[in-house]
Every structure is written in structure tokens, then in C-alpha cells.
A and B are shown apart, each in its own frame.
Chain A
Amino acid sequence: MQKVLLTSVFRPFGEENRFNKAGDEELLDYLASRLTREPGLFALSSYVPASGLHLIAANLPAETRVLETPSIDEFVDELKRGPDYVGISALIKGFGKVAKMIALTRRYAPKAKVVVGGFATALDCIEELGPDYISKGDGVRFMRNLLGVTPEVPFVHPRMSADITLRIFRDYDFLAKETIGLITSGFGCPHACDFCSTSAYFGYRAVSFLADGTAMYEAMKGQCRESDGRINNFLIFEEDLMLFRQKVSQMGELIENDLQDSLGYGCFATVKSLSRWDLEQLVAQGFQHVWIGVESMTIPYKKGTGRDMKELFGVLHSFGVTTTGSMIFGLDHHTPEMLPLEAGYLASLYPSTAQVGSLIPAVGTELRNRLEREGRIRNFDYRESDLFSDVLVHPNFKEGDLKAATLKAYEDLYEAIGPSIYRLFDTWFSGYKNLRKASRSALRRRADVYARRVRGLLPLFLQTHEYLPNDEIRRRVSETVKEVTAELGAPTVTEIGLAELYKHVFALEDTKRRHLKPLFLEPKLKVRDYAPREAPKSELPSIPAA
């Protein structure tokens, strides 16, 4: 039986050296570094697993071990176990670490074949590092092919989840965390926006992972059952899920008819695709969060056509559907005067969470090719490759201006519409009020879900007013809290006790922030083993080495 080792790049991340830039460790936290990158103490935190590695591992006819964030020594220990294949997944930022990991593999597991995957493979020069194979795009099918099984044997979905909590609560194990399940529907995107690295990486097409809505529902239901109902909220990875009408409808019907578990899901979608749906129907069938790429108020991308953006966000919120709105600074038409207006527009949409990033000319994209032709790429250092990079030369901005503007936009949003966690709370409460008397029972059940969430967050807002950004936000939070208690009942003794505890944690963390340097705890090694997945032998030709 062949042995496969799949791994992320090695830690540490919080040490500035020839592999890391200062602040890289923040990027591991998907929420705190991007979607709730706000000042203050209310920012959310979530570390997302290396989904791609687990999706591959669960579907190979080999004993497969997945390592996440190993140290160099831990990686070497695994190499000494003699794997036949070593798969290294990296973002462009991890390019330097890939070079070292290949060298380590050659020394400690000289018989192993090295496969490099992930966005780092968008760099043509990855070949120069001397891997045996380069898996660009769909890694599951690539590895199946490499191991001699037909890539189209139906896929199984591994159980994956991520905890969400307040960033300042991360180190307090006794405080509740919300766990969401992670489901991959497919990869790639046919919208082909010129800046989109995902779209370019998968060849401007959608590649299916789970074949249909039944498979999606079963993946969710299985995880919910195994967690004794604790995990019933899922994030589905698919660049624009709402393009797949049959898949979503099939999954939605099963969710609506499941009276045992109130399954719900969040996803990525576009104005264009959402405009073709009856949103009430979607909500009744579990739709509860959506990430929409707003990009700019002038909407230069086709995916933004359809319903009016502001009207769409408003309708979604009225149904209790929380939103992520993302925006790009540094588009060709942008001037320094326009960026605060863009941030103001984003605030007017009242997204529950938001992302503001610089325009990144990611390797492999049409945008990158165009800007290279125009001589508009600054000297490239792979370590600079992240959402806030300043590698674009823009006639209206000096180096550093765009990065500063993006970070300022997060502050402006916080001042204008308050912390993300409050916007979630407020939106769920709106959904509760609008759906609790709906004629359709599935919508009333959704209202019950919102009521439970609102109730769960209520203690957070009872004694933390002094940490809110300004008086206007304090007034809004007070009003919402007052309305919630009028609708759902006064706080219980337990909730009052929790509020008291939160007050002390906020005070302690506020003091630490003002007097201590930030302490970063490196992620620990995570190891997960997967048994071989039986599959028929393939007659497909082998893939030539790189």
C-alpha cells in the first residue's frame, strides 16, 4: 500500500525572517485579518483548516497523513517514516518554504516523489525548485490520476470545521465558540473577472467536487449527526454557488424537509446569480449568509449586474441573511478622493462583515499580464503576496497609499456601522422579526434559529458599551438590546452572569492591549490520518514529471 504525506508549509509564521514578513501571523486568522479586521475588542477570529489537503486525502487509494502547520522538525520526523509521495500545498507567500521542504524531502525521504500544489504553482518558476510533479488546479483528480485510479470515482467529503469566537476570547477555553462545518461544492469560477486568481487558477471554469445537491446535503447531515447536532451551520466553498440552480434547489428541498435538524448554509454568490432567485425560497431552504463581491460602487464587473446592489443587501438583511461585502481599492478609475466614498458606499450596504483589499495583480491572471505589459508591477517579493500588498503601480497613488487607504477603510466602517458582531446580531434580529409570523413553516423555523442566535449574543452587549466605537453606535446597540429584551424576554440569571464575565474579560484584554506587546501563539501541529479509499484501477496514462 502506498503512503502519502500531504502537508501545509511549516511554521513559525510570527517570526520575521527570510520566509516571513512581520505580521504574517495575522493572516492565518481568516476573520480577524480580513472580514472583521476592525479596531477595538469585538473582532471575530477563526482559523480555517487546509481544506484542499483534506479533500485530497479523503479520496486517495493510499494511506494518507495530513499535516497542518508542522515545524521543520515535525516535518522531518514524518519524512523519516518513508512516504512514497510528499504533497506540499502553498500559497505564493509560502514559495520560499516550499524550496526548503523540497530540499528536506530529498535528504530525508530520497525515494519519495514530491508534488507541489496550491496557488504557489501559479508561479511558472515553481519548476525551478525541482518538484517531481506540479498539481495546478484540481488536486484531488490530479493525485488520483497519479496514483492510478480514475479521477471520476465519486468523491467523499471529509469532516472539516472551524471555530468562531471573539479574537479576545481565543485563549479562554471556557467561553463558548461557534463551530461551523466546511463543505466544498466545487472549485473555479466562470465569471472570469480579470483580477481573480481562483478563476484563472482553475482555467476560468467551474470544476465540480460534490456532484449534486443530495451529496451536499448528505455531507452536511453526516457532520451534523456526528457532532450530535452541534454543527448545523455550514460554509459552502464554491465561487458562485447560486449559478448552480439544480444543485442548490435539490439541497434546499432536502434541508427544508429535514424537520430534525435546522441545517443552514453560507456561500459565495454574485448580484448576477442571486438576481435570478426567489430569495424567500432560498431562506426557507437554509440560505443564511452570503459573500458578495461589491468591488466598487461603479461596478465595473459583469457579475455585479442585475438587481440594485443596495436593494439586494436590504432584502437579504430583512430575511436575516447576513452578508459579507468586499471591495477593491486601486482599480484603474480610482483616485484618492474616491476611496472614502467607496468605503462610505460599502458602509451604506450595512454588510455584516466586510473586506477591503488592494487590487492584487495575482500571478496567472489577465490583470497581471496587462499590468506587466504596462510596466505597472513593483519589484516582486513572494512574501508580499497577500490581500494588502502594494505591488501595483497606480498613476494616482504613491507606494503605500493604497495599503493605508484599505486599513483606514476598516476603521471608517467600524466608526460608521459598528462592530461586525453587532451587525450580525442586528441582522439576525431583523430576520426574526420579519419571519416569526411567516405563513411558511420553514421560514418560522428559520426565525427560531435567529432568535436562538440573538439570545446567545445578548450577554455580549449588556455590559460592554464603553468599548463600542462612539456614542452613536452605543445608542444603536442600546436600542437593539432594548428591543430584543422586549421581544424575547429579559436576560436570565445565567445571561447576566455571562455579561458580568464578559465585562471582566474585556477590561483585562483592554488593559493588555494598552500595556503589553501583542503575544502571538504559533499554531500547533495538526495530524489527521485517512484510510485508503477503495477505487478501481485506472487505465489512464500516467502524468509526466515536471
Chain B
Amino acid sequence: MDTVNVEETVLKHFAAIVHVAPKKLDTGANLAAEYGVDSLKALKLISEIEVEFDIDIEEDEARCLKSLDDVVELIKAKLGLTGTAVRPLAS
């Protein structure tokens, strides 16, 4: 999986959860403020991306995810697509 596909896949899953077309999503926006992501929607998103990318996301990592960009970055780090090891995300 390449970097572009990671982003496309994340947007596809997220769009289905918040019922917004993928093209209309702002990847830098705050998930809670902009899209009403609560703990339940977050749980669903994390479950789906864990399965989709065959990765495990720990509670601390999940808590740091504030935007779709954060989500994509975390996945890329876990898949080794960033060229670096997993890095902590800013809270």
C-alpha cells in the first residue's frame, strides 16, 4: 500500500461513518469540532482502520488523533511508509 492509498482508504471509511462525501472532507480539521466525532465514532474508525491495514492502535495513540492527517500519519508510520519508526504524535 502506498501513501496515496492510505489517505484514500482512510477517507473512504471516515466518510461512511460521518456521512460526508470523501471529497468534501478537510483532512486538517479537528475531528470532534468539525465532524462531531465522539468516542463511539472514534471507536468505529479505529476498529475499521486496524482491520483494513492490519495494525494495532494503542489507547494512547488513539487519544492523540485530532485530525484525519494525524490518522494517516499514524498509519503510515506503522506501515513504515514514512521512512522512520513510529513517532509519538503531538496531543
Within 8 A of B (CB), among A118-160: 125, 128-130
Decide if B59 is an interface residue (CB 8 Å cutoff): yes
Give Cα distance in the complex from A18 to B65, angstroms. Answer: 14
> Is the Cβ of A17 less than 8 Å from the Cβ of B58?
yes
Q: Which of B48, B52, B58 contacts A18 (CB 8 A)?
A: B58
- Residues in chain A near residue B57, CB distance under 8 A: 18
Bin chain B's interface residue count.
10 to 19
Given contacts A17-B59, A18-B58, contact A107 B44 (CB under 8 A): no
Decide if A433 is an interface residue (CB 8 Å cutoff): no
Within 8 A of A (CB), among B47-72: 47-48, 50-52, 57-59, 62
Q: Which of A97-105, A238-246, A475-483 contacts B (4 or more CB under 8 A)?
A: A97-105
Give Cα distance in the complex from A129 to B44, angstroms. Answer: 6
Give Cα distance in the complex from A102 to B16, angstroms. Answer: 15
- Residues in chain A near residue B78, CB distance under 8 A: none
Give Cα distance in the complex from A311 to B43, angstroms. Answer: 51
Give Cα distance in the complex from A106 to B47, angstroms. Answer: 11
> Is the Cβ of A100 less than 8 Å from the Cβ of B47?
yes
Given contacts A96-B43, A128-B40, A130-B44, contact A103 B50 (CB under 8 A): yes
26 A-B pairs with CB atoms under 8 Å apart are: A17-B58, A17-B59, A18-B46, A18-B57, A18-B58, A95-B43, A96-B43, A99-B43, A99-B47, A100-B47, A100-B50, A100-B51, A103-B44, A103-B47, A103-B48, A103-B50, A103-B52, A104-B51, A106-B48, A106-B51, A107-B52, A128-B40, A128-B44, A129-B40, A129-B44, A130-B44
- Partner-A contacts on B (CB < 8 A): 40-41, 43-44, 46-48, 50-52, 57-59, 62
- Residues in chain A near residue B46, CB distance under 8 A: 18
B36 to chain A, nearest CB (A): 12
Give Cα distance in the complex from A128 to B51, angstroms. Answer: 18
> Is the Cβ of A103 less than 8 Å from the Cβ of B40?
no
- Residues in chain B near residue A95, CB distance under 8 A: 43
A134 to chain B, nearest CB (A): 15
- Residues in chain B near residue A129, CB distance under 8 A: 40, 43-44
> Is the Cβ of B51 less than 8 Å from the Cβ of A107?
yes
A116 to chain B, nearest CB (A): 13
B39 to chain A, nearest CB (A): 9
- Residues in chain A near residue B48, CB distance under 8 A: 103, 106
Chain A CB count within 10 A is highest, among B46, B47, B59, for: B47
Chain A CB count within 10 A is highest, among B41, B48, B52, B58, for: B48
> Is the Cβ of B51 less than 8 Å from the Cβ of A103?
yes
Give Cα distance in the complex from A301 to B61, angstroms. Answer: 46
A126 nearest CB neighbor, chain B only: B40
> Is the Cβ of B44 less than 8 Å from the Cβ of A125?
no
- Residues in chain B near residue A103, CB distance under 8 A: 44, 47-48, 50-52
- Residues in chain A near residue B41, CB distance under 8 A: 128
- Residues in chain B near residue A99, CB distance under 8 A: 43-44, 47
Given contacts A99-B44, A129-B44, contact A18 B62 (CB under 8 A): yes
B25 to chain A, nearest CB (A): 19
Give Cα distance in the complex from A102 to B44, angstroms. Answer: 9
Give Cα distance in the complex from A17 to B50, angstroms. Answer: 14
Q: Which of A17, A106, A125 contacts B40 (CB 8 A)?
A: A125
Given contacts A128-B40, A128-B41, contact A18 B59 (CB under 8 A): yes
Q: List the 8 closest pairs (A to B, CB-CB), nearest first.
A: A18-B59, A99-B47, A103-B51, A103-B47, A100-B47, A103-B48, A99-B43, A128-B40
- Residues in chain B near residue A96, CB distance under 8 A: 43, 47
Give Cα distance in the complex from A103 to B40, angstroms. Answer: 14
> Is the Cβ of A102 less than 8 Å from the Cβ of B47?
yes
User: Hey, what's the 0/1 contact readout for A185-229 against B, CB within 8 Å counting as 1?
Assistant: 000000000000000000000000000000000000000000000
- Residues in chain B near residue A125, CB distance under 8 A: 40
A19 nearest CB neighbor, chain B only: B59
- Residues in chain B near residue A17, CB distance under 8 A: 58-59
Give Cα distance in the complex from A99 to B41, angstroms. Answer: 10
Chain A CB count within 10 A is highest, among B41, B44, B52, for: B44
Within 8 A of B (CB), among A8-26: 17-18
A517 to chain B, nearest CB (A): 22
Give Cα distance in the complex from A102 to B13, angstroms. Answer: 14
B17 to chain A, nearest CB (A): 9
A114 to chain B, nearest CB (A): 13
A128 nearest CB neighbor, chain B only: B40
A124 to chain B, nearest CB (A): 10
A487 to chain B, nearest CB (A): 58
Give Cα distance in the complex from A128 to B19, angstroms. Answer: 12
B85 to chain A, nearest CB (A): 20
Give Cα distance in the complex from A18 to B50, angstroms. Answer: 13
A182 to chain B, nearest CB (A): 32
Give Cα distance in the complex from A138 to B40, angstroms. Answer: 26
- Residues in chain A near residue B62, CB distance under 8 A: 18
Within 8 A of B (CB), among A442-456: none
B4 to chain A, nearest CB (A): 21
